Structures are given as structure tokens and as C-alpha cells.
Structure 1
């Protein structure tokens, strides 16, 4: 790897290790699996998602696309994670419970966990830091909690499309304290992103990676924002409708755990990742 590539990889690993995200190296086997993943998917709990985004449809679409790992990341809530996990049981598809949090700076952050218990604990914290306002369905749309079959259970009345009063730094630290990983989302977008709202990547940001939107390739991103070359750049579909779902990452892991993902993002112990080509459906949205 030329042009300082080794230094970039070393910098990535050092940053993630300092954040305390890596397991004991003496206990780490070599990776055995190559896994297709999409780690940014919304369900009908997100008011901006289509009504087709229910667990059985998500799982079927993911399997049809050859996905082996997905993450459910609704806006400021996680109550449909368990239903998607249940819908995927026995299919070979692993579902990570997660959330897309909006910080006080109006920056979106992907939060991934290993267990439903962890993500629901995080949801309780997030709800305590949201403004106590009801969701205006006529403005944003409904927020549905459903079961594994996609049947209606209830409507979430708490306004989800809004900012918490937690800062970016607080979100990352609290998620990590719960055993999760937190990654700033779609940093290249003109709204609700790290670069749009802060204008730069903080030097002390303790995140394992940065996510690009599905419309931007890493090579394009580092030309426009040279500082991003020092970061692992991943991509997720940010799926709000089934046609948007697509394999976004190829992960080389021993298991589909966050500890393994942290190693892959750091490029350590044989773990690594590759960003896959864009979904052709998205090319019509590019300028």
C-alpha cells in the first residue's frame, strides 16, 4: 500500500484502541467469514419510512439481496429491533439492534449494540433527553411499533424527529459505556451531518469510523474533504423504502459481534472491510 497507506491504517487502529473498543489481542482468532452488510435501515417506527418497512418485508428483501448482516436504526427509538430480530430467526440473517440518534448539534449518529437489552437501555436514556412533545402525524407521519409479522401493536406518540439535548461527544461516550459502537452518519450530507453542522471532524472524536451517504464514494469524499482520508469510511443505505436497501459493506470477520466489527474498522488481526459499489437505483439522484 503506497502513498502513506500504512500510516492511515495505523492511525485508524490507534484511534479505535484508545477509545477502548478493541478486545484483548491475545484472544483473537483469525477471521473466517466474508459477510455482506447494510448497517443503516429504518422501519415504520421512523415516521419518514414507508409503510412497507415492516419486519417480514425487511428480512425477505435482505435475504433476496444476499445480505447476511443488517442493523435496524430508527430515529431516536429502538422498539422495532426485537421484532426484526425475531422475524430473521432461523434465516441466516443477523440483525444488530441499533438507533440513529440526533444530537444537540443536529448531527445524526448511528448507534449499534449486540443485544436488545442494551439498545432498550439506550432508548430509555435518549427518551429522557428528548423534548416532551407529541409527534404531529399530519406533519411527519405516524410512528408504528409492530410485531415480527408486521402487525400493528401501537403508535409511538413521543416526537422522534427532533434533537436530543445530548452532545455528539456525550452520545459516543454513553453508547460505548453500554458496550455499543457509535458512528456519525452520512457525514457528507448537507443537513443533519457532522461536516454540515460542525464544519469539521473534531480532533478528539472517539468514533471508530465515519459513515458516508449512499450517494458518495470514499474516493470522492476524500477529494472534497481531505481530512476524511485519516478515517475509516463506511457506507450504509439509510433505507427508508425497500428499493433503497443494498449491500453496502463487505466485512471480514470471525463473528457478527461489535468486537469483531471494531477490529474490522481498525483493520486489525486480519479483520477488514470494503465499501461496495452504489445501488444503481441511487444514480438517478446524483447531480
Structure 2
């Protein structure tokens, strides 16, 4: 089935996100925009995932637990998981590799932990906007092999925190089945320079830090059904694409 998606959305847990990015606001805005599936992907943490999933219960929206991990190479990877428990296992592993730097709210912004009524239940004191001491290869191994999740290199067409900006080429020793671009007009340029991208799913998500930036119903992916594991299986399968 065809599903309208946005697989890169930040909550108010990410210090660079607006305070209005609460679980209820995100779920309701995603439904208003006609989306079928979203992923909650805060920087190096998943502490608002369960609240977002709870808000979407019995609603026409599938919420995939995730996080945006920053590797030792300063590459951003969207890591999506079959359930919140697996995401929390990943969070524990990421936290063990993050530097112990206290967040400066005046510089970076607050890192709010929220419940499913949008109440603030805590504040993450460790700075989340920094690389963890783990390589991209290690993240792929843990997420896809141990935790049964999917990994998507984020915004590979950007100059910052991009796999292509860091490496210059698509690595051949990692099984990359899909990538995220921030702009559709970059597809031809990137596939011309890196032909292997033609055999990967090419996703276009919002990287929303503000409610209005959440994607409209314009990007679709195919999955066997509207379930988390079905979406993850689709992302990990790869596909042959033809671009004009």
C-alpha cells in the first residue's frame, strides 16, 4: 500500500526545535496534513517517543520510534526501530558514547521531556547536539543487525552533517538501502555523480523543527501494510529507480 510519510521530525527534546513541537501538536498537525506515517527523530535521544506513540493511539497515524544519531564522523543518521523498547536500547548505547557536556540552554535551547498531555515532565541536562564516539559502521551494525531497525543517512545533499560531505563517496562497505535528501532538485545531480544511489530508496522528509515545516501529503512509500515493521522492511529492501 502507498503511505504518505515524513520520517524526520523533531520534538521539543531537540534543543534546536521549537517549544510547540509537543507530542499532541506533532500528531495533530501530521493528521491535518494528511500523513499516514511519521517518525520521531530527536538528536541522540528518544525520550519523547512513547508520548508521541500514545498520542497517536486510535488515530489514523502510524508513529515510528526513532532518533537522529550523530556519529564520530559528524554524520547524521536517521535510526528507526520496530518498537519503543528497541529505541531505548539504542538510546542507552548512544548515551554511553556521548561526551558528558551539560547543555547550556541560553546558547542551544531547552531539551524538554513531555508526556502525552504535553506536560513537561523533565529536562534532559546532557547536551544532545554533539557527536557520539561511534562510527557509521558501528551504528549500522547495532541498529540493523542487533535491534532490527533501519538506518537512513540524513540530508545527504547538504554541506553539514552529511555522509557525502564527510566521505565524498558512497561507502561500499555498508549496506545502504535508502537515503534522505532535503531537496528534490538535487536528485539528478547526486545520482549523476554517485550512480549507486539509483539502487536506493530516495526519501524526502522535512527535518521539521517547527510545526509548519512538517511535510504535506506529497511524498509516498510502498509497504505491505500500515505497520512499523512493514515500513522498516520496505526501507531496508532498496529499489531500482529511474530518474528524469
Q: What's the TM-score, normalizing by structure 1? A: 0.78
Provide the residue aligned with 1:195 in structure 2: 164
Q: Give the unaligned 5+ runs of structure 1.
A: 1-32, 276-287
Alpha carbons of structure 1 residues 198 and 147: separation in structure 2 relative to 1, 3 Å: same
The DSSP-based 3-state class of the residue aligned with 2:221 is: strand
Using the alignment, how far apart are the partners of 2:120 and 2:228 within structure 1? Answer: 30
Shift of 1:207: 2.4
Deviations 1:138-180 (A, max 9, x none): 1110100001121111110011000000000000110111111
Provide the residue aligned with 1:266 in structure 2: 237
Which segment drifts farther, 77-86 or 203-212? 203-212
- Paired residues for 1:124-203 under 5 Å: 124-176=92-144, 177-203=146-172
Task: Check the 8 A contact 1:36/1:251 in 2, yes or no.
Answer: yes
Alpha carbons of structure 1 residues 45 and 273: separation in structure 2 relative to 1, 3 Å: farther
Shift of 1:230: 3.8
- Paired residues for 1:15-34 under 5 Å: 33-34=1-2
Using the alignment, how far apart are the partners of 1:191 and 1:46 within structure 2? Answer: 17
Task: Check the 8 A contact 1:181/1:208 in 2, yes or no.
Answer: no
Stretches of 4+ aligned residues off by more than 6 angstroms: 272-275
Using the alignment, how far apart are the partners of 1:49 and 1:184 within structure 2? Answer: 20
Deviations 1:223-257 (A, max 9, x none): 45444334322121101001111146312222223
Which segment drifts farther, 210-219 or 186-195? 210-219
Provide the residue aligned with 1:254 in structure 2: 224
Which segment drifts farther, 224-233 or 84-93? 224-233
Alpha carbons of structure 1 residues 216 and 153: separation in structure 2 relative to 1, 3 Å: farther
Q: Give the unaligned 5+ runs of structure 2.
A: none
Alpha carbons of structure 1 residues 248 and 217: separation in structure 2 relative to 1, 3 Å: farther
The DSSP-based 3-state class of the residue aligned with 1:73 is: strand
Using the alignment, how far apart are the partners of 2:62 and 2:77 within structure 1? Answer: 21
Alpha carbons of structure 1 residues 67 and 155: separation in structure 2 relative to 1, 3 Å: same
Shift of 1:202: 0.6
Alpha carbons of structure 1 residues 214 and 57: separation in structure 2 relative to 1, 3 Å: farther
Task: Check the 8 A contact 1:107/1:168 in 2, yes or no.
Answer: yes
Provide the residue aligned with 2:67 in structure 1: 99
Alpha carbons of structure 1 residues 216 and 40: separation in structure 2 relative to 1, 3 Å: farther
CA-based RMSD of the aligned residues comes to 2.1
Using the alignment, how far apart are the partners of 1:274 and 1:132 within structure 2? Answer: 46
Task: Check the 8 A contact 2:150/2:236 in 1, yes or no.
Answer: no
Shift of 1:273: 9.5
How many residue pairs get matched? 240
